[in-house]
Chains A and B, each alone.
Chain A
Amino acid sequence: QSVLTQPPSVSGAPGQRVTISCTGGSSNIGAGYDVHWYQQLPGTAPKVLNQGNTNRPSGVPDRFSGSKSGTSASLAISGLQAEDEADYYCQSFDISLSGYVFGTGTKVTVL
């Protein structure tokens, strides 16, 4: 089972703001390791949305913003659009496992 926990689903109307949480522990997020976020559209490979907690790769809309505090991190999507309907995953490094970890995944539904 994953050491990073996300809510199974979140939903919102077009234009609204939604937030996805990623809860870890003292051996990963709490140990200071960066959190990265990925968007996975149906039938496609994941795409990095946010890396190093708050950094957006070029081409990613500024509607997507990441934050981190303590043993948790969050991805906020503002101005929700139909094209944002996808699965989202957080990812970090875990010193106890000496390896990388992904979150449990969150399905975002645009109502």
Chain B
Amino acid sequence: QITLKGSGPTLVKPTQTLTLTCTFSGFSLSTSGVGVGWIRQPPGKALQWLALIYWDDDKRYSPSLKSRLTITKDTSKNQVVLTMTNMDPVDTATYYCAHRNYRGSFDSWGQGTLVTVSS
């Protein structure tokens, strides 16, 4: 059974850097075809894909946020970390991590972390 759990601060100040950690179990990020992605959802709005890291350490980012995002993995700890710099109130959202399977879908999701950006 695949499980993912995101963790990180629920409140950050404008201009600060957000660091979110996804701790997972039930799969290995060394398995071919597998990835872990981050998706966010502002209150009352649609899902927005942010970043994804593949089993071979290939990384993809949303073009509109690429300059602010960094995604890394620690296979031995079963963790994926996302950092987002220069946070702004418009970045207030629920941030989800999710398992990407070989079909390219996100078939298991973490519970989500609501991050509020406010001074």
Contact = CB atoms under 8 A, between A and B. Distances in A.
Contacts of A99: 49, 52, 60-63
Interface stretch (B11-19, B82-90, B107-115): B107-115
B63 A47 contact: no
Contacts of B105: 34, 36, 48, 51-52, 91
Contact of A89 (B47, B101, B111): B47
A45 B46 CA distance: 12
Interface stretch (A11-19, A73-81, A102-110): A102-110
8 contacts: A36-B103, A38-B106, A46-B47, A47-B109, A51-B104, A52-B103, A102-B49, A104-B46
Interface of B: 37, 39, 46-49, 52, 60-63, 96, 101, 103-107, 109-112
